[in-house]
Amino acid sequence: MNFLVTGGAGFIGSHVCEALLREGHGVWAFDSLHPFYPTAAKERNLAEIRAAGGNFNFVLGDLAEPTALRNLFANVRFDQVIHLAALAGVRPSLMEPESFQQINVEGTVNLLEAARHRGVRKVTIASTSSVYGVNEKVPFAESDPTLRIISPYAASKLACEALGHAYHHVYGMDIVCLRFFTVYGPRQRPDLAVHKFAKLIAAGKPIPVFGDGSTARDYTYVSDTVQGVLACTRKEFGYDIFNLGESETVTLSRLIELLEQSLGKKAIIERLPLQAGDVPITYADISKARKHLGYNPGVKIEDGIRKFVEWFKRQSAA
């Protein structure tokens, strides 16, 4: 099959592209190489995808510019779309809420329209655990209310989920939304906690810790997330939503301890107040994904951090 992967040069996207190529599919990565983080990192990702071999094609384009999408769909017959491109992150969205709406929401409309007009029925859309907001019930289930969102990023992703439902209901498209839970691993964005902390600890610089370290996240190793994404491509769902997490929580203090152990160096902690938009905990109920996707995450945080640090050291030495 021919797959379009938006955001294919990014962290999760590059791993998805490689997995699809290993299965023998044709893959087109559509990415703007947005300077949200260094373009050089995305170019390294693309080089690794190309090195994997297979029918891989990179298309430079912006979701906010519908002409680029229309031209691509006019030239290639896609069987499925995996929509991972977005501006991501709670804290950055507090600074640029307009950009997050333009790229994430309007860009998703442009993509769905291009797919609809070319008869592409199946689209998998990346969402986020942030849509649960301040959810007092844990673990978070897909049926939980999503009315207490506390960041523009989460609001933009919930809008994408709603758009997916509308396009399924009105146009009969098969759409699945996947709520990712704090994905980490090789190629992780340098602004995210695991990568950012590793770099600062290795350099002997202070790491910013917001709060007392008791906030907890459901860290998910990237290969487990990719497993869930690919499972969605193998059958039809009509419209559905699935959590993709490890279903285990790790406090910020414990994460720092694991990084210290793998790096062989103590962290210098800079204590800062909790930030607006941050939630106290994320914790995925993955029973639905287990049942319908055969999703079975297998990388525990101890192994995942070790694998990440091995990659980080290789990158630092290159």
Active site residue 184: no
190 upstream amide cis, omega within 30 of 0: no
| The two three-digit tokens of residue 23, written as one number | 């299965």
Which of 153, 167, 184, 221 is flagged as catalytic? 153
DSSP state letter for 190: T
Contacts of 140 (CB under 8 A, 6+ apart): 129, 132, 243, 282, 283, 284, 285
Residues 171, 226, 69: CA angle, nearest 5 degrees? 45
Contact present, 131 and 149 (Cβ < 8 Å):
yes
DSSP state letter for 142: T
Strand order of the β-sheet with 239-244 is 56-60, 26-31, 2-6, 80-83, 122-128, 174-180, 239-244
Catalytic residues: 153
